[in-house]
Amino acid sequence: MPSQLSLVPPPAPRRPAAPALVVVAHGSRDPRALSTVSALLDRVRALRPDVPVHLGHIELNAPLLPDTLAALGDTEAVLVPLLLSRGYHVKQDIPEMAAASRAHTHLAAPLGPHPLLVDALQARLLEAGWGPTPRRSSAVVLAAAGSRDPDAKTDTARTAHLLAARLGVPVIPAYASAATPTVETAVRTLLARGRHKIALASYFTAPGRFATECAQKAPWIAAAPLGTHPSMAQLLLHRYDEALANAASRELASA
Residue 29 has pLDDT above 90, yes or no: yes
Give this prediction's pTM.
Answer: 0.92
Q: Which pLDDT belongs to residue 9?
A: 63
Confidence of residue 12 (pLDDT cuts 50, 70, 90): low
What's the pLDDT score for residue 215? 97
SS3 (DSSP) at 255: coil
Pairing of strands 171-175, 76-81: unpaired
pLDDT tens digits along 66-96: 999 999 999 999 999 999 999 999 999 999 9
CB 215 within 8 A of CB 194: no
DSSP type of residue 222: B
Give the three-class secondary structure for 153. Answer: helix
**21, 76 Cβ separation under 8 angstroms:** no
Taking residues 166-186, report their average pLDDT. Answer: 97
